[in-house]
Structure formats: C-alpha cells, structure tokens
Amino acid sequence: MTAERTLWQRLGPVTTRPSWRDLLRAGIGAGLGLALAGLLVGLVDHFFPHTLFLFAPLGATAVLVFAVPSSPLAQPWNCVMGNTVSALYTLLLLWAFPQLSQTALAALAVSGAIALMLACRALHPPGGAVALLTVLASAQMLPLGWHLLIPMAVLSGALVAVGVLYHRACGRAYLHPAHVPAPAPERQTRSSLALSSEDLQQLLERFDQTYNLGPDDLGELLAAAEEQAIKRRFASISCGQVMSTQLLSVQRETALEEVADLFHTHLIKSLPVVNAQGELIGRVLRADLFDWLWEGHRSQQKQSLWRRIRPQRPHLEPVAESLMREPEMCVQESTPMGDLLQELASHSVQFIAVLRGAVLVGVITRSDVIRTLLALK
C-alpha cells in the first residue's frame, strides 16, 4: 500500500456515499426552509420594518435540520436555544467588556457560547457561528440590543417547523423525545437486545457520543448489527440443512379422529396436508380441530328453542379436508436461512414448509433455528 493511499484513507472522507434520494431530500428541504424563512422576513418587514433579517449561521442550522435530522444537535431545542443563548451571551459580553480587542472578544464569545449551550443541554454548532458573527459585526449588532434575539429565535423556530413538516411528508423521523429512564418493567427495548434505555444511554456517555446519537438510534443500530451478523452466519446454510425431515403430515381424506390423535400424541399446533404425490396443499390447525370437536359436543346436548330455529352451520365431513387452510409459508430447500430471519421475527408461524419443487420434504420450526444458532456460536 502506497503512502499516498494510506494518507488518503486517514484524511479522506469517512462517511459513506449518499444516495441520490438523500442528496435531493436534503438539498430540497434546506432550500424550502430558507426560502420560507426569507418570505417570513419579507412579510414581517412589510408591517414592522427591520424586525427580522436572515443571518449566515441559519444556513448551518439548515444543514443539520435537513441533512442529519436524527442528530441530537439538530433537534428543535438545540436549534432555537443554541442560536438564541449564544446571541444573548455575546451581547452581554460586548456590553461588559467593550475595551477588549476583537480577537479576544471572538475567542471569549465562542468558548463561552459553547459552555453555555452545553449547560443548557442545547449544543448547536451554528450557535458558535452566531457568537462569532455578533462580535465581527458588532457595529451593526450592538445598536439592535435585545431586539437581536428576536430574529435568532423566530427564524430558527421557523426553520425547525418547516423541518418537522418536511420530514413527516418524506416519511423520515426527525423529532426525538428527551431521554427519560423508563420504569423497570418497560426498560427493555423493542429490539431483541437485552439492553434497557438506561444501558444504551450509559454506552453513549461511555464513548462520548451523546451529541451524535440518541438511545433509540443506538438501539436500532445495535439490533441491525446483530441481525446482519446472524444473516452473515446463516448465509452459507440452506433451509435443507436446518429442516426436520421426520415429517408428520396428513392427507385430504385422513379422518379427523386420526388428526386429533396426532395432535394429542405429538403436542404440535398444526399439521401439513399433502396429496398422494407428497405435494403440500394445505394445513390443519389444532385450534380449528378443537372448535369442530366443541361444536359436535354442543350439538349432542339438549337444544333450546332458539338453537333449533336459528340457522345452523353446514355439517362438516369428518376428514382433514373439511378443516384445511391454505399453506402459510413455504420455501425451497436451497433457500439461504438468512432470508428467513425477518419473516420469523415478524410472523408467528408454527412451521415453515420446505419444498423440493412442489413436494414437501421437511419443516423448519423455531426450535430448529435456535438449535442452529447455538451450533454456530
């Protein structure tokens, strides 16, 4: 590896290449936000001249709101409070120490604004630019006095409002609730991770990432990483290698009494139904069989007048076909197991039928998947 290549890897881009969708979404959103902020300035100026004006750090706020909306630095509180408190602090600094040089004032303004934003839990990078702008343009800013805070707060809030509506229209999450430790029974995340919200928050604090990610974002990332790792492990394993080949199945004409015996003996929740060629054509559920048995038990009891005159369900033939449902989920035996993980996580299926062409050759249950996972570790 050449020295130039090594230097490029260390000093070059660290983020992945964005998609065209992300490019357009961020660019169009920022353009709309600043355009509407400019229209608001023009509208207010018509009635109250020189009340609002666009300021350069608002462009940096637009970058955060529309390009990285999931960042804690781009949240509404950070945008509005970060810009406003930075302007307020810098005004007080200019009034308190007018004799200091511009260089000293700039350094004190930016460093103090950062500390104040951190104290207010409103860290927002454009707030540092607001502080520096106020110092560099103090000849124009100081005469405004407290009025300077109005455009900082109003236009930051307007840009955030546009961001909320825009991201909602695009189907992208923007607003993130403040971190509040959940009660003990509800601390587990929705993912498969055995981590509470407090655990995720402690991880962020441990690696000093509280201003880059929120606990929910970290939980989603860890769950996605876990899922990706499992998929990679399963990539070389086919469904045919995992399936159980000791099949319990019935045919259309199998008597329901025999089906009931199978359910009682093997304590399973469903049975596949095959034809004479062994092709999967349906399934019978234990719950449906119990319903049929209960209906038969009630019909033998003494009927009331209402039961005798109300319409009755058609009599079912006591064979498996009368209770058969459509197959729920089928895969070929060559299908990689990694392709089934999402389906298993989102559907409560009793088994997955494994086919060779149209012929049933095995089934996969959750127990088979767990056994395979344990063997891979």
Would you say residue 181 has pLDDT above 50? no
Looking at 234, 256, 283, the residue that finishes a domain is: 234
Query: What value does the mean pLDDT of the chain take?
Result: 81
Query: Does some domain include residue 97?
Result: yes
> What CATH number does residue 340 fall under?
3.10.580.10
| pLDDT class of 351 with cuts at 50, 70, 90 | confident
- pLDDT digit string, tens, across residues 219-236: 777 877 777 776 777 667
9 and 89 fall within a common domain:
yes
Q: Are residues 292 and 208 in the same domain?
A: no
User: Is 142 in contact with 94 (CB distance < 8 Å)?
Assistant: yes
pLDDT per position as a tens digit, 30-42 = 999 999 999 999 9
- Residue 162 in any domain: the answer is yes
Q: Is residue 327 part of a domain?
A: yes
**Is 55 part of any domain?**
yes
Asked if the model's pLDDT at residue 118 lies above 90, the reply is yes
Q: Into how many domains does the chain fold?
A: 3
Least confident of 45-59, 110-124, 304-318, 349-363: 304-318
Domain for residue 80, yes or no?
yes
Q: What pLDDT sits at residue 343?
A: 66
Query: Does 24 share its domain with 73?
Result: yes
Least-confidence region, from 57-66, 97-106, 132-141, 326-335: 326-335
Same domain, 211 and 249: no
266 Cβ contact list (under 8 Å, min separation 6): 248
Within a domain: 291: yes
Q: Do 160 and 147 fall within a single domain?
A: yes
Q: Average pLDDT, stretch 233-247?
A: 79
| Whether residues 26 and 57 fall in one domain | yes
Segment among 27-31, 79-83, 225-229, 267-271 with least mean pLDDT: 225-229
Tell me the percentage of the chain whose pLDDT exceeds 70.
81
pLDDT tier, 187 (very low <50, low <70, confident <90, very high otherwise)? very low
Determine what percent of the chain is predicted with pLDDT higher than 90.
33
Q: What pLDDT, on a 0 to 100 scale, did the predictor assign at position 102?
A: 94
Residues 229 and 249 in one domain: no
Asked whether residue 189 is domain-assigned, the answer is: no
62 & 149 share domain: yes
Identify whether 369 is part of a domain. Answer: yes
**Position with higher pLDDT, 281 vs 221:** 281
Task: Give the mean pLDDT of 297-318.
Answer: 51
Per-residue pLDDT, 305: 44
Q: pLDDT band at residue 77, thresholds of 50, 70 and 90?
A: very high
Which one has a higher pLDDT value, 353 or 183? Answer: 353
What pLDDT score does 94 carry? 95
What integer pLDDT is reported at residue 194 of this predicted model? 65
Residues 227, 246 within the same domain = no
Q: Are residues 11 and 153 both part of a single domain? A: yes
- Owning domain of residue 199: 194-234
244 in the same domain as 228: no
**pLDDT top residue among 260 and 40:** 40
With a cut of 90, say whether residue 135 has pLDDT above it. yes
Q: What pLDDT score does 368 carry?
A: 79
Domain edge (last residue) among 169, 204, 219: 169
Band (pLDDT 50/70/90 cuts) for residue 185 is: very low
Clarify whether residues 228 and 146 are in a common domain: no
